[in-house]
Amino acid sequence: MIKPHGSARLNPLFVYDSTRNDELQKEAENLPSLQVSSATAANAVMLGAGYFNPLTGYMNIADAITIAENMHTSNGTFWPTPVLNLIKNTSDIGNTRRIALHDPNVKGNPVIAIQDVKAIEELTDEQMAIITEKVYGTTDAEHPGIAAFSTQGRIVVSGPIEVLNFSYFSTEFPDTFRTAIEIRNEIAEHGWNKVVAFQTRNPMHLAHEELCHIAMDRLGCDGLVIHMLLGKLKKGDIPAPVRDAAIRKMVELYFQPNSAMVTGYGFDMLYAGPREAVLHAIFRQNMGATHFIIGRDHAGVGDYYGAFEAQEIFDSIPAGTLEIEIFRADHTAWSKKLNKVVMMREAPDHAKEDFILLSGTKVREMLSNGEALPKEFSRPEVAQILIEYYQSL
């Protein structure tokens, strides 16, 4: 199986030993408490689940800046985006060297991790600007990723962590949430050698389904891992349980048995376009995928990034840095001329009107009105699940 990023074996930070976990939970009762941001809690989940391998905790400012500027930490580990514990003030923790991190997303704010504090530093205006411009490609405060980053605070609490639970992801999505180790084990159980991963934060319509089939066929893959984002999304996105139901119905009816896994992971989207595409590739290598589909405007938002910047960034990564390979996809749609779904760049003789294309606004309008989507756009069983959701609003 493909090696994880940065080490010979996966090193998740979750404390699986129940005795040790209980001891840490008890210790946390007497430690200074810090309620972290949603993004910091999601990072703890990703560290605990092994997706952030080989990181051992939250970064300091030096690592955040070298990553922003050069995509590697101070010690040379390749990494595309800073992983920080940002706070607004230190009144709750003082100068202590060990703290309990509390989850803002679960009732009662339980301890999600314990952190050994190596440094407490404050980002300057210049450093904030470097991170936002280099990581997000813009300094526009309206960018949702920058808005989330800039409102967490400027004080950086760095140091290794031990993760005690997986927040709400394991309880609210027990059939879908999987750690990187669990997915690796399932891939091994299936006997798959070549595996392609597909990232989604939306329901999968016919074009997405066919893109996965195209990638599997062209790459000669044994299996597909559909990997849903279960974390915080932007306003208007369809809730994870609805997406989950729609995708599972699609796989059940339109994929060969034992050829596709439906899984999810807990992370708050950065909407960082090209940089986040690289981060997503690392997630998938760590979970055992050999290939990863990256399409048009992957991890983008608005008009901040070029259509294929998320693919082009991989051309600048030195050979051998990542073992996972990228399947570069274009927008897919139903061709009226060919009577099938195609990647649009592979139909150069087509005009826009030769494809069946519906805007997100039009799709939402039809679903809200209980109207069936065209069969060339969405499987009827998938559309019905979405109709029921929109009509319940």
Residues marked as catalytic: 201-202
Cβ-in-10-Å burial (0-12, 13-18, 19+) of 351 comes to: exposed
Cβ-in-10-Å burial (0-12, 13-18, 19+) of 72 comes to: middle
The identity of residue 226, as a single letter, is: I
Which tokens is 384 given?
């019905």
Q: Phi and psi of 14, rounded to 5°? A: -70, 140
Rg (Cα) of the chain, in Å, rounded? 21
Which tokens is 190 given?
């299936």
Residue 197 and residue 331: Cα distance in Å, rounded?
17
Q: Are 204 and 382 in contact (CB under 8 A)?
A: yes
Cβ within 8 Å of residue 311, ≥6 positions away: 277, 294, 298, 326, 328
Which tokens is 182 given?
């669990």
Residue appearing with tokens 């059940």: 252
What is the per-residue DSSP string for 130-198? Answer: HHHHHHHS---TTSHHHHHHHTS-SEEEEEEEEE---TTHHHH-TTTB--HHHHHHHHHHHT-SSEEEE
Cβ within 8 Å of residue 129, ≥6 positions away: 139
Residue 362, classed as helix, strand or coil, is helix
Backbone conformation region of residue 5, classed left if phi is above 0, alpha if psi is from -120 to 50, else beta:
beta
Residue 216 and residue 223: Cα distance in Å, rounded?
7
